[in-house]
Amino acid sequence: MPIPELYARPELTISFEFFPPKTDEAEASLFREVVPALQQFGPGFISVTYGAGGGTRDRTLRMVHRLQCDFGIESMAHLTCVGSTRTMLASVLDQAAALGIRNILALRGDPPRGQATFQAVEGGFSHAIDLIRFVKSWGCFHIGAAGYPEGHAECPDKYLDWDRTAAKVEAGAEFLITQLFYDVNDFLEFTDYLRHRRGVTVPIVPGILPFLSAEQIHRFTSLCGARLPPELRRRIDAHAHDDEAVRRIGVEVCTEMCRRLLDEGVPGFHIYCLNRVPSAAEILHNLGLMKPMGLGTNPSMTA
Ligand SMILES: Cc1cc2nc3c(=O)[nH]c(=O)nc-3n(C[C@H](O)[C@H](O)[C@H](O)COP(=O)(O)OP(=O)(O)OC[C@H]3O[C@@H](n4cnc5c(N)ncnc54)[C@H](O)[C@@H]3O)c2cc1C
């Protein structure tokens, strides 16, 4: 079922995000162990990220295709403008269409390492909105876009960034998935602004990141400009040398956030599972959403 239709169901849609592993061996083990384990939770879909500069292009498309064909899981390929001309992007989209991929998360991408600001290549795109229009012109893809509950790091004014998010929806994005955040109030203010000030009606799905270590979450938040609330930062730093303790804090914090988000009626959770099972499984278990359905079925998950 295409992603906009998943979100139109009354059930909560759980989705997981993978990144393409660096080696064939790691990819094989992801499909052998992680995918079947996560499939038991009846994900609505799984998305696969797109590496900087298109370096993972083949792997991203191959993984999405395999998730759909071998596991029967609806899937989505991320696509960015980084280092790509329109011709190069057109070839990725042609390839995706030929593989039967139906969902694209259209992103600008971050500036490549060593570049302080994003610069479009000649013949390429400067903003995600341009890519959204481009993907839409194929006529065969459902399109998602990114949203930033604290505003995008490069934008000095979060309301201006949210106006640009609304423009992405007007251009054709059919759902929004957010950057990670750890203060639910940020998400609620973001959705309230889009819904009531900008008339956005498409699903707005919180991105949930159960972090795995102190070093990792400090790196992620500084890269994407998200804030760690002071109390959470203190808790993490107090266990900085104990990854398992920090992982458990991540599960606890994400569980609490998801409980509140459920009360607010979110259409789903997009879990940045970092190609791992335990934290995602524990969160879903804590929320009472863990309903193993057996492999090979096409389960849907109810809240
Ligand atoms: C759910 C999710 C998945 C992601 N997956 C990937 C991935 O697979 N691969 C990857 O490399 N990165 C990924 N990212 C990171 C993303 O590429 C970066 O956050 C990037 O910096 C911005 O991408 P965007 O699509 O939001 O860009 P845009 O919407 O283009 O926004 C980027 C900046 O430009 C500004 N802007 C937008 N339009 C205009 C305009 N018309 N004029 C002036 N300024 C404008 C915005 O305010 C913002 O500051 C993901 C992020 C999210 C939230």
pLDDT in tens, 130-181: 999 999 999 999 999 999 999 999 999 999 999 999 999 999 999 999 999 9
Measure 128 CA to ligand 1 centroid, in angstroms: 6
pTM more than 0.75: yes
The closest of 157, 197, 160, 203 to 178, measured between CA atoms, is 203
The ligand 1 atom nearest the CA atom of 167: 38
Q: How far is ligand 1, taken at its centre, from the CA of residue 147, in Å?
A: 8
Give the Å distance between the CA of 296 and the centre of ligand 1: 35
- With beta carbons less than 8 A apart as the criterion, state whether 123 and 86 touch: yes
Read off the DSSP letter of residue 223: H
CA 16 to chain centre: 8
Cα–ligand 1 centroid distance for 240 (angstroms): 30
63 contacts 73 by C-beta, under 8 angstroms:
no
Q: What is d(CA 249, CA 228) in angstroms, rounded to the nearest whole number?
A: 13
Choosing from 5, 11, 17, 154, the catalytic residue is 17
Cβ-proximal residues to 150 (8 Å cutoff; 6+ apart), any chain: 158, 179, 181, 186, 225, 226, 227
The whole-number pLDDT of residue 115 equals 84
pLDDT in tens, 209-235: 999 999 999 999 999 999 999 999 999
> Domains along the chain?
3-286 (3.20.20.220)
Strand partners, 17: 47, 272
Query: Could you tell me if 226 and 181 are in contact, meaning their C-beta atoms sit under 8 angstroms apart?
Result: yes
Alpha carbons within 13 A on the beta-carbon side of 210: 30
Q: How many CA atoms lie within 13 A of 287 on its CB side?
A: 30
* CA 202/CA 168 separation, integer angstroms: 11
Ligand 1 centroid, distance to 246 Cα (angstroms): 28
Which of the listed residues 15, 105, 108 should we mutate to test ligand 1's pocket, taking the one with most ligand atoms within 8 A of CB? 108
Which residue among 16, 47, 103, 107 is best mutated to probe the pocket of ligand 1, counting the most ligand atoms within 8 A of its Cβ? Answer: 107
Q: Is the CB of 180 under 6 A from ligand 1?
A: no
**Which residue's alpha carbon is nearest to atom 46 within ligand 1?**
161
In this structure, what token pair is assigned to residue 250? Answer: 């991540």
What residues of the chain score a pLDDT lower than 70? 291-303
| Residues contacting residue 16 through CB under 8 Å, at least 6 positions apart | 38, 43, 46, 47, 270, 271, 273, 280
For atom 21 of ligand 1, which residue has the closest CA? 110
What whole-number distance in Å separates Cα of residue 40 and Cα of residue 295?
Answer: 6
Which pLDDT does position 292 carry in this prediction? 52
Ligand 1 within 6 A of CB of 80: yes
Q: Does the CB atom of residue 251 touch ligand 1 within 6 A?
A: no
Is 17 in the active site?
yes
- Position 295 scores a pLDDT of 35
